[in-house]
């Protein structure tokens, strides 16, 4: 499988690349090592020495350079070998590794693995995570999913599963058959669900203090290609108005690791009117982690195991009304991939 490469992907939370340390990860089937220059700027290099293919993260940082741990070749932050400690010290022309453009934004380190250098202006807007936005944030969430990122993207775009998989926590039984609307805004696909007069799921009861009474609830999910999402989800009293509490923005961002594994980064931003104690805020973050890690992840892992190496469409999946958004997304991804293969497109 090929991946869409002309796009910004989240490599990791920016704080995971610590001064003086290396951090490594496989992204889009490529091994990458990250570190910070002495001025704090992040660097991403191919994590494989061109001499005997040792991962560079097993070596040492020498100022702004990486020294391979096996025979000591040194690479600068552009990926060029700048020191060969052996023989006459001559540096073979092929002694270099790929360097990837990276950009820090909204607390995340974004990487461009396609052609050219990428335009950071195309990085999706998650400014609700910035301290000056006034939102109370819970960031740093990460889960490793043993499934292709498109399967996980379907999970996020179509939230009809909350009634079953997250019953009592993020969903409730009366939500089945909710009105749903699928629309497109430019390259974005939006799936909105409106669920009037339903019993309040546990997480929303914490936010809105309904003590189990009914609410009107919404989940409005926006897909930003190829694999970023922002959810506007909340509750208010039946027939009421949206207030400055009872809702949040959910940030969900996927990066393919391999064809059948995915890095899942998530965060939340709550409006300033949300009345929560520190303990409640911690409990809110923990319940979200529980839902994603102990409810979604096992389902996704099992889904990929059941599919094995089969192509999704070859398996002739049954299609339901709730699949309208996911199917449009899959088609859009196919078009983007085809355009990239023909060398005609970049995506943001
Ligand atoms: S494997 Fe890196 S210097 Fe030999
Ligand atoms: Fe879920």
Which pLDDT tens digits describe the chain residue by residue (348 residues)? Answer: 689 999 999 999 999 999 999 999 999 999 999 999 999 999 999 999 999 999 999 999 999 999 999 999 999 999 999 999 999 999 999 999 999 999 999 999 999 999 999 999 999 999 999 999 999 999 999 999 999 999 999 999 999 999 999 999 999 999 998 889 999 999 999 999 999 999 999 999 999 988 889 999 999 999 999 999 999 999 999 999 999 999 999 999 999 999 999 999 999 999 998 988 999 999 999 999 999 999 999 999 999 999 999 999 999 999 999 999 999 999 999 999 999 999 865 554
Ligand 1 contacts CB of residue 144 (under 6 A): no
Please report the atom of ligand 1 found closest to the CA of residue 71: 3
Q: Is 52 in the pocket of ligand 1 (CB under 6 A)?
A: yes
Instruction: Supply angle C-alpha 197, 233, 125, rounded to 5.
Output: 160
Which atom of ligand 1 is least distant from the CA of 49?
2
Q: Which ligand is nearest to the CA of 166?
A: 2
Q: Which of 209, 291, 214, 191 is nearest to 245 (CA)?
A: 209
97 lines ligand 1 (CB under 6 A): no
Confirm or reject: Cβ of 56 under 6 Å from ligand 1: no
The residue ranges of every structural domain in the chain are: 8-121, 126-341
Residue with tokens 């989800």: 233
Q: What's the confidence (pLDDT) of residue 166?
A: 96
Atom of ligand 1 nearest to the CA of 69: 2
pLDDT at residue 231, rounded to an integer: 98
List 189's β-bridge partners, or say none: 184, 223
The domain 8-121 having CATH identifier 3.40.30.110: the answer here is no
22-45 burial code (b ≥16 CB/10 A, e <16): bbbbebbebbbbbbbeeeeebbbb
Residue 142 burial class via C-beta count within 10 angstroms: exposed 0-12, middle 13-18, buried 19 and up: middle
Same fold, 8-121 and 126-341: no
Residue 113 corresponds to which tokens in the numbers above? 């693995």
Topology of domain 126-341 in CATH is Naphthalene 1,2-dioxygenase Alpha Subunit; Chain A, domain 1 (3.90.380)
Question: Which residue lies with its CA nearest to atom 4 of ligand 1?
Answer: 71
Q: How many angstroms does the Cα of residue 124 sit away from the middle of ligand 1? A: 38
Give distance in angstroms: CA of 81 to centre of ligand 1.
11
73 lines ligand 1 (CB under 6 A): yes
DSSP 8-state class, residue 48: S
pLDDT recorded at residue 269: 97
How far apart CA 341 and CA 4 sit, in angstroms, is: 9
Q: CB count, 10 Å around CB of 20?
A: 8
CA of 47 to the centre of ligand 1 (A): 12
Per-residue model confidence (pLDDT) at position 2: 86
Give the residue, out of 45, 49, 74, with the most ligand 1 atoms within 8 A of its beta carbon, to mutate for a pocket test: 49
């Amino acid at each position: 499988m090929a991946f869409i490469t002309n796009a910004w992907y989240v490599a990791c939370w920016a704080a995971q690349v610590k001064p003086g340390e290396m951090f490594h990860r496989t992204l889009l089937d490529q091994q990458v090592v990250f570190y910070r220059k002495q001025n704090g700027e992040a660097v991403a290099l191919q994590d494989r020495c061109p001499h005997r293919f040792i991962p560079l993260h097993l070596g040492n940082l020498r100022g702004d350079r990486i020294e391979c741990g096996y025979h000591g070749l040194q690479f600068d932050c552009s990926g060029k070998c700048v020191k060969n400690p052996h023989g006459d010290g001559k540096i073979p022309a092929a002694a270099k590794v790929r360097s990837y453009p990276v950009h820090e934004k909204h607390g995340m380190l974004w990487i461009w693995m396609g052609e050219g250098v990428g335009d950071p202006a195309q990085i999706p807007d998650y400014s609700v995570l910035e301290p000056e936005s006034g939102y109370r944030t819970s960031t740093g969430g990460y889960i490793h999913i043993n499934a292709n990122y498109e399967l996980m993207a379907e999970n996020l775009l179509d939230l009809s599963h909350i009634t079953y998989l997250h019953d009592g926590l993020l969903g409730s039984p009366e939500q089945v058959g909710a009105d749903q609307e699928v629309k497109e805004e430019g390259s974005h696909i939006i799936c909105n669900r409106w669920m009037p007069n339903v019993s309040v799921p546990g997480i929303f009861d914490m936010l809105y203090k309904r003590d189990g009474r009914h609410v009107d609830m919404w989940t409005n999910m926006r897909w930003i290609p190829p694999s970023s999402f922002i959810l506007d989800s909340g509750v208010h009293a039946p027939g009421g108005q949206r207030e400055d509490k009872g809702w949040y923005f959910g940030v969900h961002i996927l990066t393919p690791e391999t064809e059948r594994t995915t890095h899942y980064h998530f965060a939340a931003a709550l409006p300033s009117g949300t009345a929560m104690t520190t303990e409640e805020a911690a409990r809110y973050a923990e319940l979200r982690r529980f839902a994603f890690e102990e409810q979604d992840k096992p389902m996704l892992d099992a889904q990929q195991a059941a599919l094995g190496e089969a192509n999704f469409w070859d398996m002739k999946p049954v299609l339901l009304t709730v699949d309208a958004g996911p199917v449009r997304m899959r088609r859009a991804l196919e078009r983007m991939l085809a355009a990239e293969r023909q060398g005609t497109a970049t995506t943001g």
